Structure 1
Amino acid sequence: MKNPWICISLALLHSSLYASEYEYMTWRADTGVQIYGKPPQCIDIPEDLRLCFNVGYDKMMLPNLLEHETIAEVKQQAGSWVPLVHKACHPGTQLLLCSLFAPVCLEKPLYPCRWLCEAVRDSCAPIMEAYGFPWPEMLTCDKFPQDDVLPCIAMNETTSNSMAKPADHPPVCPPCDNEMNTDVILEHMCASEFAIKTKIKEVKIENLDRKLILQKKRKPLKLVTLKKQDLKKLVLYLKNGADCPCQQLDNLGKNFLIMGRFVGKQYILTSIHKWDKSSKEFNKTLKKLKSHKCATHETVFK
């Protein structure tokens, strides 16, 4: 079933594009002008491109609209965005990202509409800030066309409104709001620099953040840039977490699976789960955690 969010006319969709001999003329979002580039190919969206598989169409253009020339590069860069989609900060997040990472095959490229980018940015930028990252330059909304100037990918307003969540209670701190699901946890691990098993000794409020003082015993499960000697003096920060709820921090007597990364001059908490050996899903996650191979170490929400 095709995704009803994509507002593209049938007249555009019937012109799927395959590799050809001519040079490809495209509209560059950052300049608003047409340029000549590498002839594109139209390929199947692979199942392991988790960000965009089942997005609502089956084939994508390569090079994509972010100038990734190989599917390996697309997978590598797109993987770090999957955790943001899981946060469900806006119903159009996946559509916006996939319109760039895995653009639909057409004679001319179709960029996301500026208003769609702005709507997703306004909803999701606070989530990204919780991980220590600003809204990225690659998603500067002014780069994208107005829908009254050029055809662009949008989203039905009725769909957007019907999927919006009512804000009748304070949102859970994003690193604390992760379901106990193996795939979700592994995706967060791949977007983090380290994963450890430890207890939390104390939680302090520091400016707008929560400062997590860890117990001395810290078992590393994954270390990328963090060295073992750095692990001994590790202090974590829950960015902008002074006021948002984090159920995991209500009882510090338990072990936790903690993930994080170095941003600026601080180690930022990216995910926290209770170490629950009674959970079948958690045990399944632990088994996969040891052998799971990430495509590469990437910046979260690059």
Structure 2
Amino acid sequence: MARRGSLASPANMVTLTLGLLLLTPAAAAEEYDYYSWQSDNFHNGRFYTKQPQCVDIPADLRLCHDVGYKKMRLPNLLDHESMPEVKQQAGSWVPLLAKRCHGDTQVFLCSLFAPVCLDRPIYPCRSLCEAVRDSCAPVMETYGFPWPEMLQCDKFPIDNDLCIPMQFSGNHATQTPASKVCPPCDNELKADTIMEHFCASDFALKMKIKEVKRERGDRKLVAAQKKKKVLKMGVLRKKDLKKLVLYLKNGADCPCAQLDSLGSSFLIMGRKVDQQLLLMSIHKWEKKSKELKFAVKYMKSHQCPTYHSVFQ
């Protein structure tokens, strides 16, 4: 059950404040001094020499544009001091939202990347971090990414401090359900989705798959020897293309409908991790798909942003 408490409890104070922000005009874009707070359980306080500002959350900050409030503070709580830096670093987390690993993923990430503009910094509660981490870390591991150091949950305040609590605490029925499909197989055939994975991947190919095997909890994809169309060479070498083998990390048993029939060609995107080629995304190559045609054409001229390697 959700935790009960008086309206004046720290968690409810944060929730009430966030609610009021949605009902009243956004805070004026003004500068003010602040000294980051610390408690016995939270020793990650910061001092900024640059005065924080309230700024609009821009439409192209896709991670947080629709988070529920309009203004954010700069510098944010991850020490990003400019909006270009925030966009660059936050962009690598957008694909994680699409995986629906936890209902509070956006709330947690945006509390750090685009913190609500109040007179003091409000961090996510440790329990919120732990809930999102426990649900989303296995998804990230599928792509070869560990849970990053900058999001280690013991850095955040315990729940009896002033912090942002879980929105879905104890009420699993309201959580966005996590998909049981293998994450690289659970992507819409939409141009935006394809391009997100294209930019996040080390390489992209149009190819056929000869066979699929299970190996130590992973699924092993052996490419057919027929000619492959390289859409993004990246880290691949010519010898990699001759005997191309990809791995669906922790994917031995999760469903992947694309691999039920190997007769067609596939759009394959992946990363190289510890000498292994990991599958990031797979789509059947549907010739009549306008979305696929547009994405493939766009790949030729699109300049991908440079992301920080946390969840690309």
Interval containing the TM-score (normalised by the shorter chain): 0.7 to 0.9
Q: Which piece of structure 1 moves more, 224-233 or 74-83?
A: 224-233
Residue 9 (structure 1) aligned to one of 17, 22, 34: 17
Instruction: Pick closer, same or farther for the CA change 1:10–1:89 going to 2, 3 Å.
Output: closer
The structure in which a higher percent of residues are strand is 1
The residue identity in structure 2 corresponding to 1:20 is E
Counterpart of 1:257 in structure 2 is 267
Can you list the C-alpha shifts for 1:215-263, whole angstroms capped at 9, x where unaligned? 2322111233334454334321100111111111111121100000011
Instruction: Pick closer, same or farther for the CA change 1:109–1:214 going to 2, 3 Å.
Output: same
Instruction: Give the whole-Å Cα distance in 2 for the aligned partners of 1:290 and 1:181.
Output: 17
The answer to whether 1:177 aligns with 2:189 is no
Can you list the C-alpha shifts for 1:73-130, whole angstroms capped at 9, x where unaligned? 1111111111110011111111111111111111111111111111111211111111
8 Å Cα contact 1:192-1:300 kept in structure 2: no
Structure 2: stretches of 5+ with no match in the other structure: 1-13
Instruction: Pick closer, same or farther for the CA change 1:160–1:144 going to 2, 3 Å.
Output: farther
Counterpart of 2:207 in structure 1 is 198
Residue 51 (structure 2) aligned to one of 12, 16, 39: 39
8 Å Cα contact 2:103-2:177 kept in structure 1: no
Instruction: Pick closer, same or farther for the CA change 1:231–1:65 going to 2, 3 Å.
Output: farther
Structure 1: stretches of 5+ with no match in the other structure: 1-5
The secondary structure found in structure 2 opposite 1:138 is helix
Instruction: Give the whole-Å Cα distance in 1 for the aligned partners of 2:181 and 2:16.
Output: 35
Q: TM-score of the superposition, structure 1-length normalised?
A: 0.87
RMSD: 2.6
Residue 241 (structure 1) aligned to one of 242, 251, 270: 251
TM-fit CA distance, 1:16:
3.9
Residue 289 (structure 1) aligned to one of 277, 285, 299: 299
The answer to whether 1:84 aligns with 2:84 is no
Q: TM-score of the superposition, structure 2-length normalised?
A: 0.85
TM-fit CA distance, 1:292:
2.5
The secondary structure found in structure 1 opposite 2:36 is strand
Counterpart of 2:220 in structure 1 is 211
Aligned pairs (5 A) from 1:220-239? 220-239=230-249
Instruction: Pick closer, same or farther for the CA change 1:135–1:84 going to 2, 3 Å.
Output: same
Q: Percent identical across equivalent pairs?
A: 59
Instruction: Give the whole-Å Cα distance in 2 for the aligned partners of 1:33 and 1:191.
Output: 30
